[in-house]
Structure 1
Amino acid sequence: MRGLAGIANVRPWGGPAVDIAFDGDRIASVAPAAGRVGPDVLDGRGLLALPTIVNAHAHIDKSWLGLPWQRYGGEPGTEGRIRHERARRDELGIPSVERTAAVLDAHVRHGTTALRTHVDVDLGVGLRGIEAVREAVAAYEGAVEATIVAFPQDGVLRRPGVLELLEQAAAAGADHVGGLDPASIDRDPVGQLDGLFAVAERHDVGIDIHLHDPAELGAFQLELIVERTERLGLSGRVNIAHGFAIAQLPQPRRRDLLQTMGELGISCTSVAPLRLPQLPLAELDAAGVRLGLGTDGIRDLWSPYGDGDTLAIARQFARASSIVHDEELLRVVEIATRDAAGFVGRETHDLVPGARADAVLLDAEHAMDALVRTPPRLAVVGGARLLHEQPRSDQGGHHG
């Protein structure tokens, strides 16, 4: 990891060429390109520069990336995948620092320097997964940041002792506590949500709930979450991951639900699932509901797919949503980068003075071109450190 004093001759968001100067791990200034490159200044060669890509929904504790190929097994569905994962994770060394480090490296090479990761907390692993994630992230010496969600993948109430583990995780510094399908997993939505919200209130942490349950069942749980968010004063602290029900509701019902969510600062994250309707971006924006994008798990016991490229997930979301106009394409890139700041605890995540010195360089004309082609990430800078640079012989030409 080479420390940098700045980046010369890059085009933020596809605009005019500029020089970006760093001060510590922050951007000090952005000025018209002067053509000066020193030993500690990265030559941007007129490439497109974007804020690094934020992964707002990851599971970096549970991948077999770096191990020999693992055959997909077990039964389909959430319950089937949980059982299969519990049966095989120990033999694969999951969780471990080594496995997590391999996943982090994949994310960084694809331009991500900040992520929100769900980390399994259950009776089998306790808090070991969180410890492994923290150690793997620490190896980057602050150049990569991870916001941690203590995640009860195996349920909360149906496994006595899990709620206490979530309490311990929150007390030990986890940023959020997670939940999972309170109705279909625990079969006690009121009980699970009351337990999670109590932990969040006591320890002043956020809540990030996986909600796969469809249509009316999902909407019922969303309403329970809305009620508790308002009653306990947790506005701006609650996120719904997946939220398939939102896209499946009749439009008038969805409009009213989104309006309330927006008023309470309840956000959503999506992994742009195939074969399912996508969260309606225009409606979320109109209601003021923030949307984040993420990879979910990559090469794990749930699915052999995934490579750590959150920009590719953004493209998948755009294509599946039939987004084709420049303004909408740009909006998707903003969601995957600048506007995801809040998902990783940042006020600002952009190529502007005062923001963290995080940038990704691509050979593309502008943000829209980068989204639809997802070209290689030629350089990735995190906290003013060069984390990844593709050899010049592989970089080819550039737009300018």
Structure 2
Amino acid sequence: MEPRSISRKGFLKSSSVLLAAGTGILQAPAAIGAQQSQSVKADRSYTLKNVRLETGFGYDEDGEVVHTKTELFNIEIHDGNIKAILPNKADANAIDAKGLLMLPAFRDMHIHLDKTFYGLPWKAKLAKNRTVKDMIAYEQQIIPELLKTSVPRTEKLIELMQSYGTNYARSHVNIDPTSGLNSLKNLQKALENKKESFQAELVAFPQHGIYYTKSEDLMKEAAKMDIDFIGGLDPTSIDGAIEKHMDFVVQLALDNNKGIDIHLHESGDPGMKTIHYLIDKVIENPVLKGKTFISHSFALAQLDKVKIEETAEKLANAKVGIASTIPFGSTIMPIPVLYKHGVDVVAGNDCIIDWWSTFGTGSILQKANLAAQLYGYRTEFDLSRILKLATHNVLPLDDKGNRSWPKAGDQADVVLIDASCSAEAVSRISPVKSLIHRGKIVF
């Protein structure tokens, strides 16, 4: 986006043209014919040829991975799933993938689809909005007007993410007295409109605090709607008490059979007390294991080596995950230590050009690249492993170089990318040429 004056109508038109241009990369060959082409669309049965898949690692004399082996294949897709993986037949009557690398479709696991300036004229973050409470006050001013166009703008944001290979997201959505349940309802409308090409799980997020703006009843209503997680926000600085805030979140999740994903920006002692309090609650309520996450968790970045090892082990034992935007600067998250102990780490763009942040591209592959730079993942092997940040732990090859994805029967959620292997894709943030969602070519 260039910082120039442009009307909203013009911006949306330009976005549509750019996105439409990308959808023609994979097209059914002319030989299929009109009648057969219609059949392909109807039951999503077709074959891709010249698809590049990773098949193993190449090693030097010291046993170091120095190369990723690939071969071309034919991929049969039927009814949204991968039906078969066959030796390549370049002359097959099939859709030509032209040697592009097939990778698992990307997942953005922390984003706010309901909040963005995308689709409106350029606007950077205001300097005066420094604290979370400042931002709450600002949101209370601007949300009523933004809600009027949130459905089409959310759809455009989804299309942006699809152009970067993302077909799945965990989206936090405001539940607050200013918007009531309208942010959630509008987001659900946008997702319904995009249900054939995109999937999302939703977090009911008390952005303005649970008690700070009296959002308890709204959260209870939202919990009975089509959402997946109960959110929370900085219990000490916003609501003034860890126990009261977190007990509400945990009980609401238990009562409604939901997961938990809280925003925790608080550092130091307040942040760590909240982390340990939630770990203890999950241990008390094992049904929450594997479905509880702490987003941001900046307090972890300030721990010494011994404390972070201890905390990572506790998180792993309680199966409490960490959702990170891979921040850089003075806050470097200890992602490698979390991985070492088996903590489920997920990544997301968080804000995409909104009033919280001027930045955000929509590319989750870029987050994997950033992690590689931050943590020194420079080798072929390490670069291939950190791709899991973009795919939520789905990798083409296991650590020993055996092909683990794709397999016949897997859901056909894939990207075709202009790279020789996943290591190169991460290193160069290689361009996504096509996205297939449940067998449907959507970009």
Q: TM-score, normalised by structure 2?
A: 0.81
What SS does structure 2 have at the residue aligned with 1:45? Answer: coil
Residues of 2 paired with 1:238 and 1:135: CA distance? Answer: 26
Residues of 2 paired with 1:176 and 1:340: CA distance? Answer: 22
Q: 1:272 is matched with which residue?
A: 326
Q: Confirm or deny: 8 A CA contact 2:143 2:179 kept in the other structure.
A: no
Could you tell me the percent identity over the aligned residues?
Answer: 28
Residues of 1 paired with 2:172 and 2:82: CA distance? Answer: 29
Q: Confirm or deny: 8 A CA contact 1:52 1:359 kept in the other structure.
A: yes
Q: Confirm or deny: 8 A CA contact 2:346 2:392 kept in the other structure.
A: no
Q: 417, 421, 427: which one pairs with 1:372?
A: 427
Q: 56, 61, 75: which one pairs with 2:109?
A: 56
Q: Give the alignment of 1:262-301 within 5 angstroms.
A: 262-301=316-355
Residues of 1 paired with 2:345 and 2:92: CA distance? Answer: 38
Residues of 2 paired with 1:95 and 1:287: CA distance? Answer: 44
Q: 2:373 is matched with which residue?
A: 319
Q: Confirm or deny: 8 A CA contact 1:338 1:350 kept in the other structure.
A: no
Residues of 2 paired with 1:242 and 1:53: CA distance? Answer: 20
Residues of 2 paired with 1:237 and 1:338: CA distance? Answer: 14
Q: Deviations over 1:264-296 (max 9, x none)?
A: 111111111121333323311221101111100
Q: 2:218 is matched with which residue?
A: 165
Deviation at 1:4, TM superposition (A): 5.3
Instruction: From the superposition, tell whether residues 278 and 332 of structure 1 become closer, same or farther in structure 2 (CA, over 3 Å).
Output: farther
Structure 2 stretches lacking a partner, 5+ long: 1-22, 24-40, 55-67, 396-403
Q: 1:352 is matched with which residue?
A: 407
What SS does structure 2 have at the residue aligned with 1:257? Answer: helix
Q: Deviations over 1:3-30 (max 9, x none)?
A: 4523222123462212221121111122
Q: Deviations over 1:150-201 (max 9, x none)?
A: 11111112222x1222222121121001111111111111101000000000
**1:207 matches 2:207:** no
Q: 2:82 is matched with which residue?
A: 27
Q: 8, 12, 23: which one pairs with 2:49?
A: 8
Runs (4+) of structure 1 exceeding 6 A deviation are none
Q: Deviations over 1:9-61 (max 9, x none)?
A: 212346221222112111112222122544xx431111111101110101010
Residues of 1 paired with 2:362 and 2:317: CA distance? Answer: 33
Q: 2:417 is matched with which residue?
A: 362
Aligned length: 378
Structure number with bigger Rg: 2
What SS does structure 2 have at the residue aligned with 1:149? Answer: strand
Q: 2:269 is matched with which residue?
A: 216
Instruction: From the superposition, tell whether residues 32 and 215 of structure 1 become closer, same or farther in structure 2 (CA, over 3 Å).
Output: farther
Q: 2:125 is matched with which residue?
A: 72
Deviation at 1:95, TM superposition (A): 6.7
Q: Confirm or deny: 8 A CA contact 1:261 1:289 kept in the other structure.
A: yes
Counterpart amino acid of residue 370 in structure 1: A
Q: Confirm or deny: 8 A CA contact 2:369 2:426 kept in the other structure.
A: yes
Q: Confirm or deny: 8 A CA contact 2:125 2:354 kept in the other structure.
A: no
Instruction: From the superposition, tell whether residues 262 and 81 of structure 1 become closer, same or farther in structure 2 (CA, over 3 Å).
Output: same
Deviation at 1:70, TM superposition (A): 2.2
Q: 1:308 is matched with which residue?
A: 362
Residues of 1 paired with 2:112 and 2:168: CA distance? Answer: 13
Q: Deviations over 1:97-148 (max 9, x none)?
A: 1111111011011100011000111111122222222221222333310010
Deviation at 1:340, TM superposition (A): 6.5
Counterpart amino acid of residue 211 in structure 1: L
Residues of 1 paired with 2:394 and 2:274: CA distance? Answer: 25
Structure 1 stretches lacking a partner, 5+ long: 342-348, 389-400
Q: Confirm or deny: 8 A CA contact 2:250 2:260 kept in the other structure.
A: yes
Q: Confirm or deny: 8 A CA contact 2:52 2:73 kept in the other structure.
A: yes
Q: 1:329 is matched with which residue?
A: 383
Counterpart amino acid of residue 356 in structure 1: Q
Q: 162, 166, 171: which one pairs with 1:117?
A: 171
RMSD: 2.0
Q: Confirm or deny: 8 A CA contact 2:233 2:264 kept in the other structure.
A: yes
Q: Deviations over 1:217-249 (max 9, x none)?
A: 211110000011111221111001111111211
Counterpart amino acid of residue 146 in structure 1: A
